[in-house]
Amino acid sequence: MRVHGGEVESFTAATQSGVGVRAWIGGRVGYAYGTDLSEPGVEAIARRAAEAARVAGEDEFAAPPRPAEAEALPGLTDASVEAWSAAQVAELALGVERAALEADARVVGVEQAVYADSTERVAVASSAGVAGEYETSTCFAYLQALAEGEGARETGLGFGLARGPDGLDPAAIGAEGAARAASMVGAVKPASRACPAVLDSTVAASFAAMIGGALSAAAVQRGRSPFAGRLGEALAAEALVLHDDGRDPEGSASAPFDAEGVPRRRTALIEGGRLLAHLYDTYTANREGGESTGSASRHGYRSLPTVSTSNLVVAPGSQSLDALLGEAGEGVYVTDVAGLHSGVNPVTGVFSVGASGRAIRGGELAEPVREFTVAGDLISLLGSVRAAGSEARWVPFGGSVSTPPLLIGEIAVSGS
């Protein structure tokens, strides 16, 4: 449901279903998928998977996952997804837009307010004996508010996510977008320098997701990760504690098992400043003679499983946001980053991304700042986390991440 200017702009109702088949011929793997679920249709897909396997190279570690008992995981669905009518959902989305317009006089419009929900049913079965099925529901709403002032226009994102529409607070989502947009009015370019920074939860989540991606054993084993060969090293500050938790009921990526039927679990990645683990699917685990961490993911039936994080959780610390700002003293409070897909090199960990937010002066928020970059590398960033805030939030950028704001000791800011 997309709304704009107090009216419904578009409303989509749809179902889709498909099947993906992975075939092993010895150590050769092929994949095929399709939407034709008739018996001949599925047979044709299976045949194409086998044909694809014949083209692949032999890989001694490629083998079907072994079956394992996955503990049931309740709480992944919410009845309100089914129960809400289209009119109720429209009212929710319109409420998000209204809330933003009423929150601040500088908010002149809303580019769009969007509500979406989905119910997904997933089943995995294999000739090796894997068999499982589960259902999840998720929903989210967001808006992009437009604020005007001092001859310029600013945008601000507000969002919320839940298992069902009952769990969303339209007023809070609208108010967040309005506050973010309005707080940027009159923004200036900050001076280029190296200084402390406080990353808000959305920005911290974007960086955490990049770090989580580089902890995939698939990247590590092929030498395409800054974390390759660094297991056990003290490379992070003590203040940063990072887990991957595929069973946290609040995480939108939670499921009883992963994309190849291996039970989801909790994996400690960074504790006490040390890098403790990488994330594995069956194939990457076989390469090291180890065990899968249940970290196989897919973008639906159209893709082969790949190794990735499930729910990435950065442990909260004890300090309020005000205390983090106070400790930063002079620096920047980064509330938005742009260009992550092109500005972070996942192989080297070197990053330079566009940013905006507020200046920090005398330990307090000062004028809004925009059009600058923050640059560095992911491992140095991990080492310079000085404190984690006390209030964590789930953020859906680059995966499913729960993180508090983070205080960074020093980061390179490039502005004027």
Residues numbered 41 to 60 that lie near another protein (CB under 8 A) are 45, 48, 51-53, 55-59
Q: Which is nearer to another protein, 160 or 368 (CB)?
A: 368
H helix or E strand, kind and range, residue 92: helix 86-103
Site for another protein in 271-330 (CB under 8 A): 302, 304
Q: State the nearest-atom distance from the C-beta of 222 to another protein, in Å.
A: 6
User: Do 212 and 234 form a contact (C-beta atoms < 8 A)?
Assistant: no
| DSSP summary character for residue 301 | G
Q: Which is nearer to another protein, 45 or 161 (CB)?
A: 45
Map residues 158-197 to x or -, x wherever contact with another protein holds by CB under 8 A: -------------------------------x--x-x---
Site for another protein in 4-43 (CB under 8 A): 4-5, 7-18, 29-36
Structure tokens at 366: 């000062």
Q: Is there binding between residue 233 and another protein (CB under 8 A)?
A: no
Among 25, 63, 108, 276, indicate the residue that binds another protein (CB under 8 A): 108
In angstroms, the Cα distances linking 298 to 129, 145, 261, 263, 310 are: 20, 32, 12, 15, 11
Q: State the nearest-atom distance from the C-beta of 319 to another protein, in Å.
A: 28
In angstroms, the Cα distances linking 272 to 16, 89, 235 are: 45, 45, 10
**DSSP code string of 337-396:** EE-HHHHB-TTT-EEEEEEEEEEEETTEEEEEEEEEEEEEEHHHHHHTEEEEBS--EEE-
Q: Which is nearer to another protein, 159 or 256 (CB)?
A: 159
C-alpha angle 243/161/302, rounded to 5°?
A: 75
Q: State the nearest-atom distance from the C-beta of 317 to another protein, in Å.
A: 27
Among 350, 361, 393, 397, indicate the residue that binds another protein (CB under 8 A): 350
Q: Is there binding between residue 63 and another protein (CB under 8 A)?
A: no
Q: Is there binding between residue 358 and another protein (CB under 8 A)?
A: no
Q: Which is nearer to another protein, 71 or 189 (CB)?
A: 189
Contact region with another protein (CB under 8 A), list: 65-73, 161-169, 289-297, 351-359: 351-359
Among 247, 370, 398, 403, indicate the residue that binds another protein (CB under 8 A): 370
Reference 199, options 89, 324, 349, 376; nearest CA is 324
Sheet holding 152-162, edge to edge: 2-4, 107-125, 131-149, 152-162
User: Do 131 and 124 form a contact (C-beta atoms < 8 A)?
Assistant: yes
Q: State the nearest-atom distance from the C-beta of 416 to another protein, in Å.
A: 6
Q: How far apart are the first and last CA of the chain?
A: 41
Q: State the nearest-atom distance from the C-beta of 99 to another protein, in Å.
A: 18
Among 66, 330, 342, 367, indicate the residue that binds another protein (CB under 8 A): 342
Q: Is there binding between residue 88 and another protein (CB under 8 A)?
A: no
Q: Give the per-residue SS3 of 220-245.
A: HHCCCCCCCCCCCCECCCCCCCEEEE
Q: Which is nearer to another protein, 34 or 64 (CB)?
A: 34
Reference 279, options 310, 322, 324; nearest CA is 310
Position 30, amino acid: G
Q: Which is nearer to another protein, 137 or 356 (CB)?
A: 356
Q: Is there binding between residue 119 and another protein (CB under 8 A)?
A: no
Q: Is there binding between residue 356 and another protein (CB under 8 A)?
A: yes
User: Do 195 and 411 form a contact (C-beta atoms < 8 A)?
Assistant: yes
What number of CA atoms fall less than 13 Å from residue 267's CA on the CB side? Answer: 26
Q: State the nearest-atom distance from the C-beta of 354 to another protein, in Å.
A: 3
Among 188, 348, 363, 391, indicate the residue that binds another protein (CB under 8 A): 348
Q: Which is nearer to another protein, 263 or 331 (CB)?
A: 331
